[in-house]
Amino acid sequence: MAEIDISSKLGKEKATIKLAEGKVYEVDNSADNYLLVEESIKNEDFSIGTMYKMIGMLMGEKALKDIKEMKLTIPQLTSVVIAISAIVNEVSYEEMEKRFPTSK
């Protein structure tokens, strides 16, 4: 039987988001983790609490704590969630911004 090598399609690059100088966070964009996120927020309205939940689950509690300490505005917080969603869906920020329900 022939061997099919798809290792290059399963890259192991870490997905990261830079929020400010010295504030770079890894995003757990694994299918299993995103499934947990979807299940966790599927019956919720899109709110600040939902955004915080997504950030905590995808970026970790340290990132969530740091973000809360940054005192972001709602549009800034939405930008973080758009960036996380772009990474998980493997599309550009601009493409995800177009798809995002609350963006202009």
**pLDDT for 14:** 86
**pLDDT for 104:** 47
Q: What whole-number distance in Å separates Cα of residue 8 and Cα of residue 100?
A: 30
Q: Express each pLDDT in 62-71 by its tens digit.
A: 999 999 999 9
pTM: 0.83
Pairing outcome for strands 23-27 and 15-20: antiparallel
Domain spans of the chain?
16-99
**pLDDT for 102:** 60
